[in-house]
């Protein structure tokens, strides 16, 4: 979800009346019609997602215990695809209010900080722990990068060595784009810590990766790695405007968007 959608969910539209009291903003007919259309589309998207996620859960619930490796990896992929393909702008009630089924927690689907569905990656992690060297290792190894992620997404840090190990072992693997993004975002964040000479909790997150040498040299190195990996993503998906924006902002040195260790 974008920061703007989050802001919409956290902020009430108010105005200061001539009498000095707070009141709700009254939308005109055109604006109200637009809002209604957006909400209808949003609810339709959520209803479709609920139907599809319920279908995935039925397959999961019907599986033997322990579930076969193929099934765990397959369901993991289906969950990731359902959540990845969602529109970024969803201006109606949260997933928690409209579609969340608590039984889905059994397969790692919960609600995140803004009330949207989130997946903690547990099925892939279970599969990898059970059979780390299986024929599906190109899938399961990715679970070592984040482990079982916290649904709220706060304070998350990747295992950057695990990301680099995945790239080395599976340079054309099914999660290579995710690995590229992880490495790019990690070094973009490290670049910002070094650029701004931060001394707060973000410094603490990245301190293990900061050497006792020139910060300016390390800053330039981190910036270069971030640009390299954003470029690799664009080579795979040239039309990705979000990645292109991150690349350009990082190139200019004006980037402010954090990916990891966020509050």
Residue 184 counted as domain residue:
yes
pLDDT in tens, 174-221: 999 999 999 999 999 999 999 999 999 999 999 999 999 999 999 999
Residue 126 counted as domain residue:
yes
113 and 141 fall within a common domain: yes
41 and 149 fall within a common domain: yes
Q: How many domains does the chain have?
A: 2
47 and 72 fall within a common domain: yes
47 and 140 fall within a common domain: yes
Among 86, 121, 153, the domain boundary falls at 153
Residue 16 counted as domain residue:
no
pLDDT in tens, 34-64: 678 999 999 999 999 999 999 999 999 999 9
Q: Residue 65 has what pLDDT?
A: 92
Share of the chain above pLDDT 90, in %: 78
Could you list the residue range(s) of the whole structural domain that residue 114 is in?
A: 37-153
Strand pairing report for 14-16 and 109-111: unpaired
120 and 195 fall within a common domain: no
Residue 217 counted as domain residue:
yes
- DSSP string covering 45-107: HHHHHHHHHHHHHHHHHHS-SSPPHHHHHHHHHHHHHHHHTS-S---SS-HHHHT--GGGGGG
Residue 190 counted as domain residue:
yes
171 and 261 fall within a common domain: yes
Among 153, 171, 195, the domain boundary falls at 153
Residue 6 counted as domain residue:
no
From CA 130, how far away is CA 124, in angstroms rounded? 10
For 109, the 3-state DSSP assignment is: strand
From CA 27, how far away is CA 45, in angstroms rounded? 24
127 and 175 fall within a common domain: no
164 and 147 fall within a common domain: no
Among 153, 169, 197, the domain boundary falls at 153
pLDDT in tens, 102-150: 999 999 999 988 899 999 999 999 999 999 999 999 999 999 999 987 6
Strand pairing report for 117-119 and 109-111: antiparallel
Kindly report the pTM of this predicted structure: 0.84
142 and 166 fall within a common domain: no
Residue 145 counted as domain residue:
yes
112 and 185 fall within a common domain: no
126 and 185 fall within a common domain: no
Residue 169 or residue 30, greater confidence? 169
Residue 7 counted as domain residue:
no
68 and 170 fall within a common domain: no
- Whether the upstream peptide bond of residue 232 has omega within 30° of 0, thus cis, is no
């Amino acid at each position: 979800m974008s920061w703007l959608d989050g802001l919409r969910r956290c902020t009430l539209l108010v105005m200061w009346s001539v009498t000095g009291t707070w009141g709700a903003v009254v939308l005109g007919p055109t604006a109200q019609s637009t809002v209604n259309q957006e909400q209808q589309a949003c609810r339709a998207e959520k209803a479709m997602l609920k139907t599809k996620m319920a279908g995935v859960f039925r397959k999961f619930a019907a599986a033997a215990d322990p579930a076969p490796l193929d099934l765990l990896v397959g369901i993991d992929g289906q969950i990731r695809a359902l959540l990845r393909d969602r529109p970024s702008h969803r201006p109606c009630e949260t997933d928690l209010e409209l579609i969340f089924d608590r039984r889905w927690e059994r397969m790692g689907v919960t609600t995140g900080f803004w009330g949207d569905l989130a997946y903690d990656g547990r099925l892939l992690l279970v599969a990898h722990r059970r059979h780390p060297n299986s024929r599906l290792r190109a899938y399961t190894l990715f679970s070592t990068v984040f482990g079982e992620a916290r649904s709220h997404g706060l304070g998350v840090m990747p295992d950057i060595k695990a990301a680099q190990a995945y790239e080395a072992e599976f340079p054309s693997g099914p999660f290579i784009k995710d690995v590229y993004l992880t490495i790019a975002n990690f070094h973009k964040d490290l670049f910002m810590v070094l650029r701004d000479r931060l001394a707060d909790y973000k410094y603490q997150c990245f301190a293990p990766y900061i050497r006792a040498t020139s910060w300016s040299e390390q800053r330039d190195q981190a910036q270069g790695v971030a640009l390299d990996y954003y470029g690799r993503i664009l080579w795979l998906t040239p039309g990705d405007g979000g990645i292109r924006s991150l690349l350009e902002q990082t190139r200019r040195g004006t980037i402010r968007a954090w990916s990891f260790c966020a509050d």
